[in-house]
Amino acid sequence: MRPAWPSGRPTLLSSPPALDLGRLSRRQELATAAAAAAVTAAAAAVPAALSINGSDRQKQLVLCTSTTALLRFVIILLALRHVRRVWRQGSTLVAETRAAVEGSLFTEVAPGVSLHHLITVLPPAASGEATVALPPLLLHLNHGFGASALTFDKFWASLNFSTSRPVCLSSHDRTGFGLSSRPADPEAYTDDQGAAHANALLDLLPGAETLLGGHSIGAGLAARMASAPGAAAAEGGRVQALVLIAPALLPPRTRPSAAAPTPPPGASARRDAAASLGRTLRATLAKPTGWLVLAAVRLAVRCVIFSRRFWNIALHIAYAKPANPEPEMMVRYRWPAQVHGADRGVACVALAMMWRSKDELMQRLTGRTSRSGVGRQQTDAEVCERLAALGLPILILHGTADRIVPISNSRALARKLPAARLVEIQGCGHVPHEEAPAEAAEALQKFARECGLL
pLDDT tens digits along 61-77: 666 776 777 777 777 77
Instruction: State the helix-helix crossing angle for 380-390 and 407-416, rounded to 10 degrees.
Output: 50
26: phi then psi, degrees, rounded to nearest 5: -60, -40
| List of residues 6+ apart from 452 with CB closer than 8 A | none
pLDDT value at 424 more than 70: yes
pLDDT value at 420 more than 70: yes
Residue 344 domain-assigned (yes or no): yes
Residue 352 domain-assigned (yes or no): yes
pLDDT value at 206 more than 70: yes
> Domain of 232?
98-125+134-249+281-454
Question: What's the structural domain count of the chain?
Answer: 1
So what's the pLDDT on residue 226? Answer: 96
Mean pLDDT within 389-413? 95
Mean pLDDT (the chain, rounded) = 79
C-alpha 80 chain-centroid distance: 29
Residue 247 banded pLDDT, cuts 50, 70, 90: very high
Q: What is the pLDDT of residues 288-327, one digit of tens each?
A: 456 677 788 888 888 788 888 888 889 999 999 776 678 8
Residue 259 banded pLDDT, cuts 50, 70, 90: very low
Residue 228 domain-assigned (yes or no): yes
pLDDT value at 408 more than 80: yes
Q: What is the pLDDT of residues 118-157, one digit of tens each?
A: 998 888 876 545 445 678 899 999 999 999 999 998 899 8
pLDDT value at 235 more than 50: yes
So what's the pLDDT on residue 147? Answer: 94
Residue 193 domain-assigned (yes or no): yes
Higher per-residue pLDDT: 199 or 87: 199
Alpha-carbon gap, residue 176 to 184, rounded angstroms: 10
So what's the pLDDT on residue 211? Answer: 96
Residue 120 domain-assigned (yes or no): yes
Residue burial 10-37, b: 16+ Cβ < 10 Å; e: rest: bebeebeebbebeeeeeeeeeebeeebe
Q: What is the pLDDT of residues 335-386, one digit of tens each?
A: 998 888 898 899 888 888 776 554 555 455 555 554 444 445 678 888 999 9
Alpha-carbon gap, residue 157 to 37, rounded angstroms: 55
pLDDT value at 213 more than 70: yes
Residue 410 domain-assigned (yes or no): yes
Integer distance in angstroms from the first to the last C-alpha of the chain?
A: 16
Residue 367 domain-assigned (yes or no): yes
So what's the pLDDT on residue 331? Answer: 87
So what's the pLDDT on residue 116? Answer: 95
Percentage of the residues of the chain whose pLDDT score is greater than 90 = 38
Residues in the chain: 454
- The CATH code of the domain that includes 297 is 3.40.50.1820
Residue 19 domain-assigned (yes or no): no
